[in-house]
Structure 1
Amino acid sequence: MPNPASLHRHAVAAAVAAAFCAASTSHAQSAAPVIPDEPAKVEPKTGSGNDAKPLPENIQRVEIKGAVAAYDPRRDDTASKIVVTSEEIQRYGDTSVNDVLKRLPGITVGGAAGRSGGEIRMRGLGSGYTQILLNGERAPAGFSIDTLSPDVIERIEIVRAASAEFSTQSIAGTINIVLKKAVKSAQHVLKIGAGKSADAFNPSGSLQLSDKLGNMSYSMGANVWRYRYDRQSPTEDTRTDPAGRLVMLHRSRQHDWGSPEGLNLSPRVNWTLKNGDTVTWQGFVNVNRGEHASEEVIDTPTGTPPLYDAGTGRQSGHTNFLRSDLNWVRKLDGGGKLDMKLGASDMRSRNTWHELNYRAASLARDSTVRTNTDEWGITSQGKYTAPLMPGHELSMGWDGGATRRDDARIERTVDLPGASPGSADNSDEGYAASVDRLALYVQDEWNVTPRWSMYVGVRWEGIDTASEGGTFETVRQKTSVWSPLAQTLYKIPDTRDQLRLALTRTYKAPPAGNLVPRRFTSTNNTQTEPDRRGNPDLQPELATGIDASYEHYWAENALLSAAVSMRHISGYTRQGLLLDPDGRWVSTPVNDGSAVTRSLELEAKFPLSAIMKDAPGVDMRASVSRNWSRVDAVPGPDNRLDQQTPLSATVGFDYKTRDGKLTTGASFAFRNGGPVRIDVNQTGYQSVRRDLDLYALWKFDARYQLRVAVANALSQDYLFDSAYTEANGVLRRTGRHAGYAQGRATLEVRF
């Protein structure tokens, strides 16, 4: 008779798979834990086969225990963490890390498919609520994470509940992107690929080299890419009176094209010293440059035309980012370890924007804006780890840094016939900013029993920000936050189930740019296209949170999990909109009350063989995330925090033939949208996004393999909508970015 528990597990797995309507990709991290109540006793014997006899009782017994299951950080670490491996990262042959992240459970990427700059969100929250780290540190403000090639990434760590070792500027969670560093064996891999869609062409190439020379090992990752696009981006502006009658209609025909390109280098050298210490140097170089252009014509079937009804713009620029880190790990007596790292970074950006605006077919405005940004900094990190007593591992450390930023902006605007009065601007504006930070932390991981472990920690972070410029008074702000943290893991006896609970205090510090009261003007200033300005009085947002989860490891590489979380945020920051004395609309960040956010996440992944005997080599994955939030200062309905994504889901599968020659799979990622209330007068709309991606990998032999993939196979369009309501009517802007499927092929050669 079948085991009832086994039937129950199989039924649960089948129900989850059916609920998501498909199978899903990605291998589980490792085998499920099997923790017997008591080790089986084996009588030592002499001889062999049936003639073996028990040994005399007085002979010493030697018991050999094998590892029941491989270490899996997601399953075994007290602090909850999901690790995405290099194999999973490179599976679809993506050229942008954003395309990798959109398929991971609980993570969404904003914007239109195939366009850069999408915001990365955990629990549906972005704008600084989700912390993005590069090798455990924040990247500078001018560095765009979506220019990072997946080929130079070793793993991605998803940390849902904060730990003291990382910065606690992580209200929604932390995504830590770790560059390649492990050198297990000599590798020489060359990849050449190209992607093509109806509006873009994207060639790329990468080279990975690694080897060992005695006590030294080295690796070098290099990646180059280019992206050419040519697309239409139509928008429509309307105004209706209080009775709902259309009194204004502007239709914009905008054409954009450009050719950004980039280079990533990630060299690394490791030395193992005679005393067992290790010294590691790692560098990272990111170079991006590009040319962009646009043309816009605005038709006015109804009402008064805008100030400028046509325009052209051209932008050219480059951004270079360099980072160098030196890491020393020393093993101490008694099982202790000292891990210290010193780093330096430099970022330089140069951009020129030239814009021509027309009114009634006559040139009315000629504007050129040049911006030069330089940011450099040093960082220092250290961690001392030692066993405090049996079952305890104590860690303490520091994380500090100093950053300096110089920003210069030169504008030359010429008044021509038809221009607005006083629009000429010949200004040289610049500012300098400094950010000094220091964090101290201590944490203890305690194995209370073989099945129950606890993590407790506390972190203090202090930030000193100063800005000065020629058009505003010096701004200086000092903030500090204490973050007590606690997490626990309990493995339920006689099962493969486990429970997690975490209590956290996190925060969101205002970026330096949001503190500087500089104004960035818009050409046609309206409530939906306002000027932007910083707020020197902005304060951090503070959040207290709780996370709880249930995990069921019911077979090898099989997982079912459910997680819930809540955050209460004080000092909530929203974008305020005001009309200044000059009659221009200005958007500026303000602290305004509190907010609450809640999340529910469900996940399942398992091989098909876990529910079907003699099943083919198919691995499945599915997840769904539901998010709720409420901002107290904004009336409902739809008063969601940070335009939170209310619902997201992923589903997919991987299939591998028995001979290992062919691997193929598909992934579907869904992100819900809908209306959102930004403040009393402003509303917006979040576009639904559906991403269906497919791939196939054919291994010709040990040296050659071909990877083909299709991204955005559904050709999903991206819609946007924003509105401002006032006494004399509603002003609304809507638009559509057309979506196109992109095919990609990559040849991989090992030599």
Structure 2
Amino acid sequence: MPARPFRLTQIAAAVLSIYLAAGAAHAEAEAPAKPAEAAPLQKVEIKGAAASYDARRDDTASKTVITSEEIQKYGDTSVNDVLKRVPGITVSGAAGRSGGEIRMRGLGNGYTQILINGERAPAGFAIDSLAPDVIERIEVLRAASAEFSTQSIAGTINIVLKKALKAAQREVKFSEGKGSKFSSPSVSLQMSDKLGKTSYSFGGNAWRYMYNRVTPSFDTGTDAAGIPNLDRAATWHDQGRADGMNLSPRINWTLDNGDTLTSQTFVNLNQFVSNSHSRTTTTLGKGPDYDRVDSTFSSHNGFGRSDLNWVHKLAEGAKLDMKVAVSDNRNTADSLQFGGNNGLPATLARTVVSTSSEQGFSTQGKYSRPLTLVAAPADGKGEAPAEHALAMGWDAGITQRDDTRNQREAVLPGGLTPDNSDEGFSAKVTRLALYGQDEWNLTPQWSLYTGLRWEGLDTRSDGNTFDAVRQHSSVFSPLMQTLFKFPNKKDQLRVALTRTYKAPSTASLIPRKFTSTNNSPTEPDRRGNPHLKPELALGLDASFEHYWGEGGLLSASASMRRIDNYTHQGLLYEDQRWVSTSINDGRAETRGVELEAKFPLRALVEHAPALDLRASVSRNWSRVESVPGPDNRLDQQTPLSATLGVDYKSPSGMLSTGGSYSFRNGGLARLSGTQGGYTSVRRDLDVYALWKIDTQNNLRVAVSNLLGQDYVTESLYSDASGTQNRMTVASGETQLRVTIEKRF
């Protein structure tokens, strides 16, 4: 095993070398021969203002935009796979498996805000079920702005769904992905057209994911003297199928007075069925409560949101933008579990049925207008005008959530006393935010963004197993960002000061208990904490950017966050069982630096192949004051991540190909005086090729997770009586995906 990562890295290096050589050869082969006496041709370039606009370079508020072309480049079926290649963003978990958490600055635990069309997704909605084909662009905001919620300590990722186009378009895609332990077919349809003053678009995707895999885990322990007293090995054989679909219709009307009215709907449906078999062998110490567990599980999820957006133009360039939206999210799940020991008949037969629903109403509005404070003199000399882009608005909503869970255990010979329960709760969350902002061009080289946002959140819940819970919190968030462009028009400096926060989720406030099958310090029960407070953070960001040539960029950035009321998972021992619950525990600090470079190779070598190169590296540090060191960093923070990529396009434009390598470090983290966690290094190597057969047909081939490395995690517990550790190994596998794209 120790030699495997090195061997695979060598293979990866060889693949990339062949890839680059092939690209260079292809460019040379396709280059047209130069006539002996050809007269030099004058090159004329015509660029529109829209084409020359670069949000990252031109906006005062820091923002990076991933375009639709970049999103679809590798033929991904999950938005998580798209984001893992973006500089400064990591995705937790094993490659190719669903459920990974999207992180900025290496921070998990909900510090990164994920939005869909500027609004937070409901509880229980899996972002990785969102198909890339329905996404217009992804906006990455590294510093908070007043227009979006400031629940963004690490940053904000805003996923913007596709909009209506001016020209007619029809496109269908058929795709098949295959690995050694899974297969994943999918189909998508995109349509758009314009009829007079009305335009529309429709996106639809459907997919299936089938898998059959084995995940081993190992439990070890020692007593107070360090002598081994526990050694267990378990295998979890899991097979299942997931089906899903996305629908995103949108209609846009242009009214006679120039106003626009837009209706956009998004529907996501998922169902999942699985059966699993766990077997545990104990060679030292006490065995688990059940060394044999057989389970079946099924779930259905449906989410829909529809909004109506009106944009009204006013005098002097002012604009009023208002939106109302309704949403509905429903989940059902049921499981059947049998447990036994030593090959004897089952002594546990447990059935759990749960349902949840969440309905929401929201409204947003923004009034904006440009403003010139100093009139420009008629002769063009003297003081330049001071330009402002003023905006103010609101964001309000009400969400009602209902949740039930019914557990039944059969009376079996030799079994424990049945633990039957009927639990339910309802929760109402009311939020209101008011904000104002101003983007001010002090000089042609210097701009300043200032904003102030107030957010109030009121949560009320009650249930049949706990007393009524009510929590009210509000946060003032002053924000400042500034951009200074040096006279050489190539270099610029950004600085941002922000106040952000993270509110506890509704589920984490509900004091309802979820029981684990084999209870232990590394597999505890879970329970909410109604006394949780929001985490508050003061942030400082600074970056230097150097632009040159066509698309060349070098940047260096640094950031710092000081977090009060830091929240982590505490571990308690109650009524002979281990229970995990969230607690506020003092202050934490995090710091980070990030370097990024991207440029065409021809910017360095005049006659080089048409290769675009990109690379980035991010280093993060953190410290939790209440946890003794070393390794007392924030829960599961990624200390180091890096990306390296190359893209090639043939002179004819018929062939595009490239590769991307992403690296994510892991390591040990202490979560409290008794708890710790370990994650292994993750390396992803992906390659793709796109052949434009003609103007209407494309063939895309992509290979992801080419290294196929295993992913290892450990849960660690230690106190005066000894230690207990659990290690889990998620096997890695390579995926080949072929996609046929047809326009008509």
TM-score with structure 2 setting the length:
0.91
Query: SS of 2:80's equivalent?
Result: helix
Match of 2:69 in 1: 87
> For the Cα contact (< 8 Å) 2:407–2:420, is it kept in 1?
yes
Q: 2:283 aligns with which of 291, 294, 301?
A: 301
Question: Equivalents in 2 of 1:598, 1:289: separation in Å?
Answer: 40
Letter in 1 for 2:69: E
1:184, distance to aligned residue in structure 2 (A)? 2.9
Q: 2:593 aligns with which of 588, 600, 608?
A: 600
Q: Deviations over 1:189-219 (max 9, x none)?
A: 0000100001110000000000000000000
Match of 2:460 in 1: 466
Letter in 2 for 1:204: S
Question: Equivalents in 1 of 2:544, 2:530: separation in Å?
Answer: 43
Q: 2:727 aligns with which of 726, 730, 734?
A: 734
Alignment of 1:11-410 (within 5 A): 70-361=52-343, 362-390=345-373, 391-410=387-406
Query: SS of 2:372's equivalent?
Result: coil
1:264–1:704: structure 2 CA closer, same or farther, 3 Å change rule? Answer: same
1:708–1:428: structure 2 CA closer, same or farther, 3 Å change rule? Answer: same
Q: 2:636 aligns with which of 632, 643, 655?
A: 643
1:360, distance to aligned residue in structure 2 (A)? 2.1
Question: Equivalents in 1 of 2:635, 2:534: separation in Å?
Answer: 15
Match of 2:26 in 1: none
Indicate yes or no: 2:658 matched with 1:658.
no
Q: Deviations over 1:465-497 (max 9, x none)?
A: 011000000000000000000000000112410
Q: 1:434 aligns with which of 412, 417, 428?
A: 428
1:238, distance to aligned residue in structure 2 (A)? 1.3
Match of 1:502 in 2: 496
Match of 2:481 in 1: 487
Unaligned ranges ≥5, structure 1: 1-19, 25-63
> For the Cα contact (< 8 Å) 2:164–2:250, is it kept in 1?
no
1:22–1:88: structure 2 CA closer, same or farther, 3 Å change rule? Answer: farther
Question: Equivalents in 2 of 1:286, 1:73: separation in Å?
Answer: 30
Question: Equivalents in 2 of 1:529, 1:370: separation in Å?
Answer: 21
Query: SS of 1:260's equivalent?
Result: strand
> For the Cα contact (< 8 Å) 1:22–1:652, is it kept in 2?
no
Indicate yes or no: 2:523 matched with 1:529.
yes
Indicate yes or no: 2:528 matched with 1:545.
no
Query: SS of 1:166's equivalent?
Result: coil
Question: Equivalents in 2 of 1:154, 1:544: separation in Å?
Answer: 32
Moved over 6 A (4+): 20-24
1:553–1:23: structure 2 CA closer, same or farther, 3 Å change rule? Answer: farther
1:240, distance to aligned residue in structure 2 (A)? 1.1
> For the Cα contact (< 8 Å) 1:23–1:621, is it kept in 2?
no
Question: Equivalents in 2 of 1:23, 1:509: separation in Å?
Answer: 47
> For the Cα contact (< 8 Å) 1:23–1:653, is it kept in 2?
no
Question: Equivalents in 2 of 1:238, 1:304: separation in Å?
Answer: 11
1:661–1:471: structure 2 CA closer, same or farther, 3 Å change rule? Answer: same
Query: SS of 1:641's equivalent?
Result: coil
Question: Equivalents in 1 of 2:560, 2:17: separation in Å?
Answer: 29
Question: Equivalents in 1 of 2:305, 2:415: separation in Å?
Answer: 46
Question: Equivalents in 1 of 2:266, 2:652: separation in Å?
Answer: 38
Unaligned ranges ≥5, structure 2: 1-15, 21-45, 374-386
Question: Equivalents in 1 of 2:168, 2:392: separation in Å?
Answer: 36
Letter in 2 for 1:274: D
Match of 1:565 in 2: 559
Query: SS of 1:103's equivalent?
Result: coil
1:198–1:67: structure 2 CA closer, same or farther, 3 Å change rule? Answer: closer
Indicate yes or no: 2:411 matched with 1:415.
yes
Letter in 2 for 1:377: G
Letter in 2 for 1:606: F
Q: Deviations over 1:333-357 (max 9, x none)?
A: 1110000000000001111011000
Letter in 2 for 1:508: K
Question: Equivalents in 2 of 1:523, 1:67: separation in Å?
Answer: 62
Q: Deviations over 1:227-270 (max 9, x none)?
A: 00000001011111233322121111110010011000000000
Q: CA RMSD in A?
A: 1.6
Question: Equivalents in 2 of 1:388, 1:76: separation in Å?
Answer: 19
1:716, distance to aligned residue in structure 2 (A)? 1.1
Question: Equivalents in 2 of 1:427, 1:65: separation in Å?
Answer: 67
Question: Equivalents in 1 of 2:454, 2:584: separation in Å?
Answer: 23
Q: 2:694 aligns with which of 689, 694, 701?
A: 701
> For the Cα contact (< 8 Å) 1:722–1:734, is it kept in 2?
yes
1:65, distance to aligned residue in structure 2 (A)? 12
Question: Equivalents in 1 of 2:604, 2:440: separation in Å?
Answer: 36
Instruction: Among all aligned residue pairs of Structure 1 and Structure 2, give the percentage whose two residues are the same amino acid.
Output: 61
What is the aligned length? 690
1:22, distance to aligned residue in structure 2 (A)? 12
Question: Equivalents in 2 of 1:619, 1:290: separation in Å?
Answer: 40
Question: Equivalents in 2 of 1:415, 1:303: separation in Å?
Answer: 28
Alignment of 1:680-719 (within 5 A): 680-719=673-712
